[in-house]
Structure 1
Amino acid sequence: MLCRLAEQFEAASSAHVAENGIERDADWFLLKLQEEMGELTQAWNRLTGRGRAKGRSPEDMRRDLADETADLLGHLLLFAHRNEIDLAAAIERKWRFQPAQTSDR
């Protein structure tokens, strides 16, 4: 599942940067993660009353939070893809997830 998502984000990102003349060098991937984390923080602050609502309704602010979360996930997957990180294996190792056991019953 992660590999498929990463491939979809890669296709979308490649098209976006090509249309806008953006060069994705090694630093770009990490800098975009930082930028998106800032935008997620800003959306959270707005939603929780720690930032100006800027005329946004609570529903709009929840949607903004979801959108910024999606952006952060996308850029994290792009970073992992660019750096040839097997994210699924790293998650299993780091979080001590065990592969699903199948039952013969």
Structure 2
Amino acid sequence: MLDELKRQFEEASAAYATEHAITRDPDWYILKLQEELGELTQVWNKASGRGRSRAISPEELRRSLADEAADLLGHILLFAHHNDIDLAAAIERKWKFAPDL
């Protein structure tokens, strides 16, 4: 499942980068993770009353949280893809789902 998601995110990201003349060098992947985490944090601050809500409805905040979480996950998968990381195996090992790995 993660391999398929990595492939899909890679295709979408590569197309976006081509369309907008973005160079995805090795640093780009980690910097995008930081950027997306910042965006998720910004929405969380609004949702939790720690930031300006600009009259955004609770439904819009919830959708924004979901969208930013999806972006962050996508960029984690892109980082893993670019660095040839087997996330499924790492999750099983690190989270003790399959400790023998």
Measured against the shorter chain, the TM-score band is: over 0.9
TM-score by length of 1: 0.92
Secondary structure of the residue aligned to 1:16 is: helix
- Counterparts of 1:2 and 1:33, CA distance in 2: 17
Question: What residue in structure 1 maps to residue 91 of structure 2?
Answer: 91
Question: What residue in structure 1 maps to residue 17 of structure 2?
Answer: 17
CA offsets 1:42-87 (integer angstroms, 9 cap, x no match): 0100011110012211110100000000000000000000000011
Question: What residue in structure 1 maps to residue 72 of structure 2?
Answer: 72
Stretches of structure 1 that go unaligned for 5 or more consecutive residues are 100-105
RMSD: 1.1
Provide runs of 4+ in structure 1 moved above 3 Å.
none
- Counterparts of 2:14 and 2:46, CA distance in 1: 31
Question: What residue in structure 2 maps to residue 44 of structure 1?
Answer: 44
TM-score by length of 2: 0.95
- Counterparts of 1:62 and 1:48, CA distance in 2: 11
Identity of aligned residues (%): 67
The answer as to 2:29 corresponding to 1:29 is yes
- Counterparts of 2:5 and 2:48, CA distance in 1: 30
| Alpha-carbon offset, residue 29 of structure 1 | 0.1
- Counterparts of 1:85 and 1:27, CA distance in 2: 16
Stretches of structure 2 that go unaligned for 5 or more consecutive residues are none
- Counterparts of 1:73 and 1:67, CA distance in 2: 10
Q: Which has the higher Rg, Structure 1 or Structure 2?
A: 1
